[in-house]
Amino acid sequence: MLEELAIKLSEKESFAKSFLLFFTIIELFLGFIFYNYYKIESEHLQENLYMQMKNYSFFFDNDKFDIDFIPKTKNLNYYELNITSKDLYILTPIDATSHDVLKIYYPYRRYQFSLKQIRFKILWQFLLTSIISILISIGFSFYILKPLRESLQLLEVFIKDIIHDLNTPLTNILINLKIIGKNPSIQEEIDGIEQSAKTISMLHTNLNSYLQNFTYKQNRFNLKDTIKSQIDFFKPSYSYLKWDIDLDECIVSSDENAIARVIYNLISNACKYNTNNGFIKITLKENIVTIQNDSYGIKHPNRIFDRFYKENDRGLGIGLHIVERLCQELKIDKHLHINNNIFSITLNFN
Protein backbone atom coordinates (compact mmCIF):
# COMPACT_ATOMS: atom_id res chain seq x y z
CA MET A 1 0.00 0.00 0.00
CA LEU A 2 2.77 2.45 0.92
CA GLU A 3 4.70 1.58 -2.24
CA GLU A 4 1.70 2.36 -4.42
CA LEU A 5 1.28 5.56 -2.44
CA ALA A 6 4.96 6.40 -2.95
CA ILE A 7 4.60 5.91 -6.72
CA LYS A 8 1.49 8.07 -6.75
CA LEU A 9 3.28 10.71 -4.71
CA SER A 10 6.22 10.64 -7.16
CA GLU A 11 3.82 11.07 -10.06
CA LYS A 12 2.03 13.88 -8.25
CA GLU A 13 5.34 15.58 -7.50
CA SER A 14 6.43 15.32 -11.15
CA PHE A 15 3.03 16.55 -12.29
CA ALA A 16 3.09 19.48 -9.84
CA LYS A 17 6.62 20.54 -10.80
CA SER A 18 5.85 20.35 -14.54
CA PHE A 19 2.59 22.24 -14.04
CA LEU A 20 4.18 24.96 -11.91
CA LEU A 21 7.10 25.43 -14.29
CA PHE A 22 4.95 25.68 -17.41
CA PHE A 23 2.22 27.73 -15.71
CA THR A 24 4.77 30.16 -14.21
CA ILE A 25 6.38 30.75 -17.61
CA ILE A 26 2.99 31.38 -19.23
CA GLU A 27 1.87 33.69 -16.40
CA LEU A 28 5.08 35.71 -16.57
CA PHE A 29 4.61 36.07 -20.30
CA LEU A 30 0.94 37.05 -19.87
CA GLY A 31 1.86 39.46 -17.08
CA PHE A 32 4.35 41.20 -19.37
CA ILE A 33 1.79 41.39 -22.19
CA PHE A 34 -1.06 42.72 -20.04
CA TYR A 35 1.18 45.21 -18.25
CA ASN A 36 2.16 46.71 -21.60
CA TYR A 37 -1.45 46.46 -22.73
CA TYR A 38 -2.47 48.53 -19.68
CA LYS A 39 0.20 51.14 -20.45
CA ILE A 40 -1.02 51.39 -24.04
CA GLU A 41 -4.66 51.70 -22.93
CA SER A 42 -3.82 54.42 -20.40
CA GLU A 43 -1.92 56.31 -23.11
CA HIS A 44 -4.91 55.94 -25.44
CA LEU A 45 -7.15 57.32 -22.71
CA GLN A 46 -4.93 60.39 -22.36
CA GLU A 47 -4.78 60.84 -26.14
CA ASN A 48 -8.57 60.59 -26.43
CA LEU A 49 -9.07 63.11 -23.65
CA TYR A 50 -6.57 65.43 -25.31
CA MET A 51 -8.30 65.21 -28.70
CA GLN A 52 -11.70 65.75 -27.13
CA MET A 53 -10.43 68.79 -25.18
CA LYS A 54 -8.93 70.21 -28.35
CA ASN A 55 -12.20 69.77 -30.26
CA TYR A 56 -14.07 71.20 -27.32
CA SER A 57 -11.97 74.37 -27.58
CA PHE A 58 -13.47 74.94 -31.05
CA PHE A 59 -17.07 73.82 -30.64
CA PHE A 60 -17.78 73.63 -26.87
CA ASP A 61 -20.09 70.68 -27.50
CA ASN A 62 -18.97 68.26 -24.78
CA ASP A 63 -20.38 68.51 -21.29
CA LYS A 64 -17.70 66.31 -19.73
CA PHE A 65 -15.20 69.18 -19.60
CA ASP A 66 -15.13 72.35 -17.55
CA ILE A 67 -13.54 75.65 -18.42
CA ASP A 68 -11.77 78.39 -16.53
CA PHE A 69 -9.85 81.54 -17.32
CA ILE A 70 -6.36 82.09 -16.04
CA PRO A 71 -4.03 85.06 -16.49
CA LYS A 72 -1.82 84.96 -19.52
CA THR A 73 1.87 84.67 -18.74
CA LYS A 74 5.00 84.13 -20.72
CA ASN A 75 6.19 80.67 -21.79
CA LEU A 76 2.75 79.08 -21.68
CA ASN A 77 2.42 75.90 -23.73
CA TYR A 78 -0.82 75.82 -25.66
CA TYR A 79 -2.62 72.66 -26.75
CA GLU A 80 -0.50 70.36 -24.62
CA LEU A 81 -1.98 67.94 -22.13
CA ASN A 82 -1.01 68.65 -18.53
CA ILE A 83 -1.70 66.26 -15.68
CA THR A 84 -1.86 67.31 -12.04
CA SER A 85 -3.25 65.77 -8.88
CA LYS A 86 -6.47 67.79 -9.42
CA ASP A 87 -7.15 67.64 -13.13
CA LEU A 88 -6.04 67.07 -16.69
CA TYR A 89 -6.10 70.22 -18.80
CA ILE A 90 -5.01 72.09 -21.88
CA LEU A 91 -4.54 75.79 -22.40
CA THR A 92 -5.85 77.60 -25.48
CA PRO A 93 -5.51 81.26 -26.45
CA ILE A 94 -8.63 83.44 -26.62
CA ASP A 95 -7.44 86.29 -28.86
CA ALA A 96 -4.41 88.46 -29.20
CA THR A 97 -5.85 91.33 -27.09
CA SER A 98 -7.04 89.15 -24.17
CA HIS A 99 -5.06 89.09 -20.94
CA ASP A 100 -6.41 85.61 -20.11
CA VAL A 101 -6.17 82.15 -21.60
CA LEU A 102 -8.79 79.45 -21.66
CA LYS A 103 -8.22 76.41 -19.48
CA ILE A 104 -10.17 73.29 -20.45
CA TYR A 105 -9.92 70.68 -17.78
CA TYR A 106 -11.13 67.25 -16.80
CA PRO A 107 -11.31 66.23 -13.10
CA TYR A 108 -8.56 63.87 -12.05
CA ARG A 109 -10.97 61.67 -10.06
CA ARG A 110 -12.92 60.94 -13.26
CA TYR A 111 -9.67 60.14 -15.00
CA GLN A 112 -8.80 57.75 -12.17
CA PHE A 113 -12.22 56.15 -12.48
CA SER A 114 -11.63 55.57 -16.21
CA LEU A 115 -8.24 54.02 -15.42
CA LYS A 116 -9.91 51.80 -12.84
CA GLN A 117 -12.38 50.58 -15.47
CA ILE A 118 -9.50 49.81 -17.81
CA ARG A 119 -7.67 47.89 -15.05
CA PHE A 120 -10.85 45.96 -14.23
CA LYS A 121 -11.36 45.01 -17.89
CA ILE A 122 -7.72 43.96 -18.28
CA LEU A 123 -7.82 42.03 -15.00
CA TRP A 124 -10.81 40.01 -16.20
CA GLN A 125 -9.05 39.32 -19.48
CA PHE A 126 -5.96 38.28 -17.56
CA LEU A 127 -8.00 35.92 -15.35
CA LEU A 128 -9.69 34.35 -18.36
CA THR A 129 -6.38 33.82 -20.15
CA SER A 130 -4.94 32.45 -16.87
CA ILE A 131 -7.70 29.85 -16.76
CA ILE A 132 -6.80 28.89 -20.31
CA SER A 133 -3.12 28.74 -19.33
CA ILE A 134 -4.04 26.47 -16.40
CA LEU A 135 -5.78 24.07 -18.78
CA ILE A 136 -2.83 24.19 -21.18
CA SER A 137 -0.39 23.60 -18.30
CA ILE A 138 -2.43 20.63 -17.05
CA GLY A 139 -2.45 19.12 -20.53
CA PHE A 140 1.27 19.73 -20.92
CA SER A 141 1.97 18.17 -17.50
CA PHE A 142 -0.02 15.05 -18.34
CA TYR A 143 1.88 14.85 -21.62
CA ILE A 144 5.21 15.08 -19.76
CA LEU A 145 4.05 12.60 -17.09
CA LYS A 146 2.99 9.92 -19.57
CA PRO A 147 6.52 8.64 -20.44
CA LEU A 148 7.43 8.69 -16.73
CA ARG A 149 4.43 6.53 -15.86
CA GLU A 150 5.24 4.18 -18.75
CA SER A 151 8.85 3.90 -17.53
CA LEU A 152 7.69 3.00 -14.01
CA GLN A 153 5.34 0.38 -15.42
CA LEU A 154 8.13 -1.09 -17.55
CA LEU A 155 10.38 -1.16 -14.49
CA GLU A 156 7.77 -3.04 -12.47
CA VAL A 157 7.28 -5.54 -15.30
CA PHE A 158 11.05 -5.98 -15.47
CA ILE A 159 11.30 -6.67 -11.74
CA LYS A 160 8.37 -9.09 -11.92
CA ASP A 161 10.18 -10.96 -14.69
CA ILE A 162 13.34 -11.13 -12.55
CA ILE A 163 11.33 -12.49 -9.62
CA HIS A 164 9.71 -15.11 -11.82
CA ASP A 165 13.04 -16.17 -13.32
CA LEU A 166 14.71 -16.36 -9.89
CA ASN A 167 11.98 -18.32 -8.18
CA THR A 168 12.25 -21.67 -9.98
CA PRO A 169 16.05 -22.18 -10.00
CA LEU A 170 16.27 -20.88 -6.45
CA THR A 171 13.75 -23.40 -5.21
CA ASN A 172 15.54 -26.22 -7.05
CA ILE A 173 18.90 -25.20 -5.54
CA LEU A 174 17.58 -25.23 -1.99
CA ILE A 175 15.76 -28.55 -2.44
CA ASN A 176 18.78 -30.28 -3.98
CA LEU A 177 21.09 -28.89 -1.30
CA LYS A 178 18.97 -30.58 1.33
CA ILE A 179 19.15 -33.86 -0.61
CA ILE A 180 22.95 -33.91 -1.02
CA GLY A 181 23.66 -32.29 2.34
CA LYS A 182 24.25 -35.68 3.97
CA ASN A 183 27.59 -36.12 2.16
CA PRO A 184 30.18 -34.67 4.59
CA SER A 185 33.02 -34.61 2.05
CA ILE A 186 31.48 -31.75 0.14
CA GLN A 187 29.84 -30.02 3.07
CA GLU A 188 32.01 -26.87 2.76
CA GLU A 189 31.06 -26.42 -0.87
CA ILE A 190 27.44 -27.07 -0.03
CA ASP A 191 27.57 -24.43 2.70
CA GLY A 192 28.93 -21.91 0.20
CA ILE A 193 26.23 -22.76 -2.32
CA GLU A 194 23.58 -22.61 0.38
CA GLN A 195 24.75 -19.19 1.50
CA SER A 196 24.65 -17.91 -2.09
CA ALA A 197 21.19 -19.40 -2.52
CA LYS A 198 19.99 -17.66 0.63
CA THR A 199 21.41 -14.39 -0.67
CA ILE A 200 19.46 -14.85 -3.89
CA SER A 201 16.43 -15.78 -1.79
CA MET A 202 16.61 -12.51 0.15
CA LEU A 203 17.07 -10.58 -3.10
CA HIS A 204 13.98 -12.36 -4.37
CA THR A 205 12.13 -11.43 -1.18
CA ASN A 206 13.20 -7.79 -1.44
CA LEU A 207 12.09 -7.51 -5.04
CA ASN A 208 8.81 -9.22 -4.23
CA SER A 209 8.34 -6.93 -1.24
CA TYR A 210 8.96 -3.92 -3.45
CA LEU A 211 6.13 -4.87 -5.79
CA GLN A 212 3.51 -6.48 -3.59
CA ASN A 213 1.45 -5.56 -0.57
CA PHE A 214 1.63 -7.94 2.37
CA THR A 215 -0.59 -8.48 5.36
CA TYR A 216 1.71 -8.45 8.34
CA LYS A 217 1.08 -10.94 11.13
CA GLN A 218 2.08 -10.11 14.66
CA ASN A 219 3.66 -12.79 16.81
CA ARG A 220 5.91 -12.77 19.87
CA PHE A 221 9.50 -13.79 19.23
CA ASN A 222 12.99 -13.27 20.58
CA LEU A 223 14.56 -10.38 18.66
CA LYS A 224 18.01 -11.52 19.78
CA ASP A 225 17.63 -14.85 17.91
CA THR A 226 16.46 -13.05 14.75
CA ILE A 227 19.45 -10.71 14.78
CA LYS A 228 21.89 -13.50 15.63
CA SER A 229 20.70 -15.66 12.72
CA GLN A 230 21.36 -12.78 10.31
CA ILE A 231 24.79 -12.14 11.84
CA ASP A 232 25.67 -15.84 11.49
CA PHE A 233 24.70 -15.64 7.84
CA PHE A 234 26.92 -12.64 6.98
CA LYS A 235 29.87 -13.10 9.32
CA PRO A 236 31.64 -15.93 7.43
CA SER A 237 31.59 -13.94 4.17
CA TYR A 238 32.90 -10.79 5.84
CA SER A 239 35.34 -12.31 8.30
CA TYR A 240 37.92 -9.61 7.51
CA LEU A 241 35.71 -7.06 9.30
CA LYS A 242 35.84 -6.56 13.06
CA TRP A 243 32.55 -7.72 14.52
CA ASP A 244 31.43 -6.36 17.89
CA ILE A 245 28.21 -8.04 19.01
CA ASP A 246 26.34 -7.33 22.23
CA LEU A 247 22.80 -8.68 22.31
CA ASP A 248 20.43 -8.88 25.25
CA GLU A 249 17.34 -11.04 25.39
CA CYS A 250 14.38 -9.11 23.98
CA ILE A 251 10.86 -10.39 23.34
CA VAL A 252 8.88 -8.25 20.90
CA SER A 253 5.48 -8.50 19.25
CA SER A 254 5.69 -7.86 15.52
CA ASP A 255 6.02 -9.63 12.16
CA GLU A 256 9.12 -11.78 12.52
CA ASN A 257 9.72 -12.25 8.79
CA ALA A 258 9.47 -8.51 8.13
CA ILE A 259 11.82 -7.74 11.02
CA ALA A 260 14.28 -10.33 9.71
CA ARG A 261 14.17 -8.59 6.34
CA VAL A 262 14.90 -5.22 7.99
CA ILE A 263 17.86 -6.62 9.93
CA TYR A 264 19.13 -8.48 6.86
CA ASN A 265 19.06 -5.34 4.70
CA LEU A 266 20.76 -3.22 7.36
CA ILE A 267 23.56 -5.73 8.00
CA SER A 268 23.95 -6.32 4.26
CA ASN A 269 24.32 -2.57 3.74
CA ALA A 270 26.81 -2.35 6.63
CA CYS A 271 28.92 -5.12 5.10
CA LYS A 272 28.85 -4.07 1.46
CA TYR A 273 29.67 -0.42 2.06
CA ASN A 274 32.30 -0.92 4.74
CA THR A 275 36.02 -0.18 4.49
CA ASN A 276 38.74 -2.80 4.00
CA ASN A 277 39.71 -2.76 7.68
CA GLY A 278 36.40 -1.58 9.01
CA PHE A 279 34.11 -2.77 11.75
CA ILE A 280 30.50 -3.64 12.40
CA LYS A 281 28.99 -3.10 15.81
CA ILE A 282 25.55 -4.47 16.62
CA THR A 283 23.90 -3.99 19.98
CA LEU A 284 20.48 -4.84 21.41
CA LYS A 285 19.71 -3.07 24.66
CA GLU A 286 16.27 -2.46 26.14
CA ASN A 287 14.35 -2.98 22.88
CA ILE A 288 16.74 -0.71 20.96
CA VAL A 289 18.83 -2.13 18.11
CA THR A 290 21.87 -0.19 16.94
CA ILE A 291 23.88 -1.15 13.87
CA GLN A 292 27.10 0.79 13.29
CA ASN A 293 29.70 0.41 10.61
CA ASP A 294 32.72 2.14 9.19
CA SER A 295 32.34 3.70 5.73
CA TYR A 296 34.08 5.86 3.17
CA GLY A 297 31.49 8.59 3.70
CA ILE A 298 28.01 9.31 2.40
CA LYS A 299 27.58 12.00 -0.24
CA HIS A 300 23.84 12.49 0.23
CA PRO A 301 22.69 11.17 3.65
CA ASN A 302 19.19 12.58 3.15
CA ARG A 303 18.66 10.36 0.09
CA ILE A 304 19.87 6.94 1.24
CA PHE A 305 16.31 5.74 1.93
CA ASP A 306 15.01 6.92 -1.45
CA ARG A 307 13.83 4.30 -3.92
CA PHE A 308 16.59 3.25 -6.39
CA TYR A 309 19.15 5.63 -4.88
CA LYS A 310 22.70 4.30 -4.62
CA GLU A 311 26.07 5.99 -4.50
CA ASN A 312 27.94 3.39 -6.54
CA ASP A 313 27.21 0.59 -8.98
CA ARG A 314 26.55 -2.06 -6.35
CA GLY A 315 23.05 -3.24 -5.52
CA LEU A 316 19.62 -2.28 -6.80
CA GLY A 317 19.04 0.71 -4.55
CA ILE A 318 15.94 -0.74 -2.86
CA GLY A 319 17.33 -2.37 0.30
CA LEU A 320 17.25 0.68 2.57
CA HIS A 321 14.08 1.89 0.89
CA ILE A 322 12.41 -1.36 1.96
CA VAL A 323 13.78 -0.79 5.48
CA GLU A 324 12.15 2.65 5.45
CA ARG A 325 8.85 1.25 4.25
CA LEU A 326 8.76 -1.67 6.69
CA CYS A 327 9.65 0.55 9.64
CA GLN A 328 6.77 2.82 8.74
CA GLU A 329 4.31 -0.04 8.39
CA LEU A 330 5.46 -1.79 11.57
CA LYS A 331 5.58 1.47 13.58
CA ILE A 332 9.31 1.18 14.36
CA ASP A 333 11.13 4.40 15.22
CA LYS A 334 14.21 4.63 13.02
CA HIS A 335 17.04 7.13 13.42
CA LEU A 336 20.11 7.70 11.27
CA HIS A 337 23.37 9.15 12.57
CA ILE A 338 26.53 9.83 10.54
CA ASN A 339 29.61 11.10 12.32
CA ASN A 340 33.20 10.96 11.02
CA ASN A 341 32.21 8.36 8.39
CA ILE A 342 30.62 6.18 11.09
CA PHE A 343 27.24 5.10 9.78
CA SER A 344 24.74 4.28 12.55
CA ILE A 345 21.07 3.26 12.40
CA THR A 346 18.96 2.83 15.52
CA LEU A 347 15.67 0.92 15.67
CA ASN A 348 13.42 1.48 18.65
CA PHE A 349 10.92 -1.35 19.28
CA ASN A 350 9.34 0.24 22.37
Residue 315, Ramachandran bin (φ over 0: left; ψ between -120 and 50: alpha; else beta): left
What's the CA angle centered on 206, arms 200 and 208, to 5 degrees?
Answer: 100
β-partners of residue 62 are none
pLDDT at residue 72 is higher than 80:
yes
Angle, helix 256-272 to helix 319-329, in steps of 10 degrees: 150
Considering the chain, what percentage of its residues have pLDDT values greater than 70?
75
Instruction: State residue 320's pLDDT score.
Output: 81
Domain spans of the chain, in order of start: 2-147, 215-348
Q: What is the DSSP string of 41-95?
A: HHHHHHHHHHHHHHHHHHH---TT-EEEEEE--TT--TT--EE-SSEEEEEEE--
CA neighbor of 338 nearest in space, from 293, 289, 283: 293
pLDDT band at 4 (very low <50, low <70, confident <90, very high): very low
More confident residue, 5 or 146: 146
Angle, helix 108-180 to helix 2-59, in steps of 10 degrees: 170
pLDDT band at 181 (very low <50, low <70, confident <90, very high): low
pLDDT at residue 202 is higher than 70:
no
Mean pLDDT for the chain?
A: 81
Considering the chain, what percentage of its residues have pLDDT values greater than 90?
26
> For the ranges 225-229, 275-279, 307-311, 317-321, which has the lowest average pLDDT?
307-311
pLDDT tens for each residue of 231-251: 988 888 788 899 999 998 888
Most confident of 4-13, 152-161, 237-246: 237-246
pLDDT at residue 285 is higher than 70:
yes
pLDDT at residue 30 is higher than 80:
yes
- Tell me the whole-structure pTM to 2 decimals: 0.49
Q: What is the mean pLDDT of residues 151-172?
A: 61
pLDDT at residue 2 is higher than 50:
no
Can you tell me the distance from the alpha carbon of 222 to that of 346, in angstroms, rounded to the nearest whole number? 18
pLDDT at residue 102 is higher than 50:
yes
pLDDT band at 40 (very low <50, low <70, confident <90, very high): very high
**Which of the following CATH numbers is that of domain 215-348: 3.40.50.2300, 3.30.565.10, 1.20.120.160, 2.40.10.10?**
3.30.565.10
pLDDT at residue 33 is higher than 50:
yes
pLDDT at residue 173 is higher than 90:
no
